[in-house]
Amino acid sequence: MKAHESHGAASVTANDREPLAPDLARSRPRLAIVVPCFNEELVISETVGRLLEVLRDLREQGQIASESFLFFIDDGSIDQTWNLLRDLNKSNPEVKGLKLARNFGHQNAVLAGLLTVRHRADCVISMDADLQHDPQAIYSFLDKYRQGADIVYGVRRDAGNVPLSKKIGSSMFYWLMTSMGAKVVKDHPDYRLISAKVLDTLADYKEVNVFLRGIFANMGFRSEVVYFDVHDRAAGTTHYSWRKMIGLALDGVTSFSVVPLRIIAIGGVLITLGALAVAVFIVFSALRGDVVPGWASTVLPIYVLGGIQIMTIGLVAEYIGKIYSEVKQRPRFISDQELS
């Protein structure tokens, strides 16, 4: 069983989205920029200003359709973030948003934004609210999209401005993911462009514990990479504590890999083999009579049964892995194009 391969129902193609002519959706798409915000009152006005500049410039250059917009998801902020967004929306019609009922966490906030704009855009860019993701890269994202890419991954060019603890954290995270056989793009945060086709496929992933980076890497489709510079946070502090980072890493591994479960089974087999070898030694020692009476009959079952127990847990874990991939109901295949 390969948990990182696709299972579930077929992907759908856009249905209730009012389609543009296909070539127009590529050459002058309706772009939505999705930005999750959690207590970002210190930075949100500046971010809106910078993104509006980029959006208007792109529109003037005829690179995107006039219906393009910014979409902010307030992830249960307890500061002025939502009020500021409301004011900005009054003076700038391109600023739109959604307020979640409470804090659902970064991944769910991005997912909420993506699925909400699903039928209003031909391509969507997701990025952080703190301007750490250089908005200048949006131009290159769109170039790649126009050339036919369905997913464009933003990859950190130089992590010079990132604190050492974060660098160590993300290297460990990447190592853990790849050694457990889960696919992720190295140094790619949640800064990416996806096409409407990818967005429709995303809607077919019904899992509750979302790890977006893994989901997109798992999908396939034509993808490209754009390198961007990491800036310091424009204001405020990170919301990603070590605890949250470890939680994300665990979600990433357990959502895309059954290797941890398989390690139990392999461990069980190795221990049983070791126990059998020890058993031979114990039986010989007992036959030669150079052991304390009762010793052999006590230790022999401990080793052998211990090994068999762990092996059995490994076997049960294989089934749990199967159940896990079934309940996620991921698409069993994802179609890209069809000739008719």
Q: Quick one: what does residue 37 bind among ligand UDP, Mg ion, none, with the CB cut-off 5 to 8 Å set by partner type?
A: ligand UDP
Q: How far is the CB of 35 from ligand UDP (least distance, A)?
A: 6
Q: How far is the CB of 107 from Mg ion (least distance, A)?
A: 14
Residues that bind ligand UDP (CB under 6 A): 36-38, 40, 75, 103, 105-106, 109, 128-130, 132, 238-240
Q: Quick one: what does residue 140 bind among Mg ion, ligand UDP, none, with the CB cut-off 5 to 8 Å set by partner type?
A: none
Across the strands, what pairs with 119?
Answer: none
Taking the least distance from each CB to Mg ion, the nearer of 41 and 130 is 130
Q: Quick one: what does residue 41 bind among Mg ion, ligand UDP, none, with the CB cut-off 5 to 8 Å set by partner type?
A: none
The closest of 236, 197, 234 to 118, measured between CA atoms, is 197
Taking the least distance from each CB to ligand UDP, the nearer of 82 and 303 is 82
Residues that bind Mg ion (CB under 5 A): 128, 130, 132
Q: Give the C-alpha separation, 45 to 311, whole Å.
A: 57
Taking the least distance from each CB to ligand UDP, the nearer of 36 and 314 is 36
Contact predicate 174/260, CB 8 Å: no
Neighbours of 194 (CB within 10 A): 29
The tokens for 237 are 């502090």
Q: How far is the CB of 163 from ligand UDP (least distance, A)?
A: 9
Q: How far is the CB of 316 from ligand UDP (least distance, A)?
A: 35
Query: Rounded to 5, what percent of the chain is helix, strand, coil?
Result: 50, 10, 40
Contacts of 188 (CB under 8 A, 6+ apart): 153, 154, 155, 156, 213, 225
Taking the least distance from each CB to ligand UDP, the nearer of 130 and 200 is 130
The closest of 274, 278, 277, 319 to 296, measured between CA atoms, is 278
Angle at 170 between CA 78 and CA 174, to 5 degrees: 125
The closest of 64, 217, 69 to 151, measured between CA atoms, is 217
The alpha carbon dihedral of 97, 100, 106, 107 has a sign of negative
Which 3 state secondary structure label does DSSP give 314? helix
Across the strands, what pairs with 278?
Answer: none
Taking the least distance from each CB to ligand UDP, the nearer of 187 and 200 is 187
Q: How far is the CB of 127 from ligand UDP (least distance, A)?
A: 8
Q: Quick one: what does residue 240 bind among ligand UDP, Mg ion, none, with the CB cut-off 5 to 8 Å set by partner type?
A: ligand UDP
Taking the least distance from each CB to ligand UDP, the nearer of 75 and 204 is 75
Q: Quick one: what does residue 75 bind among Mg ion, ligand UDP, none, with the CB cut-off 5 to 8 Å set by partner type?
A: ligand UDP
Q: How far is the CB of 92 from ligand UDP (least distance, A)?
A: 19
Q: Quick one: what does residue 29 bind among Mg ion, ligand UDP, none, with the CB cut-off 5 to 8 Å set by partner type?
A: none
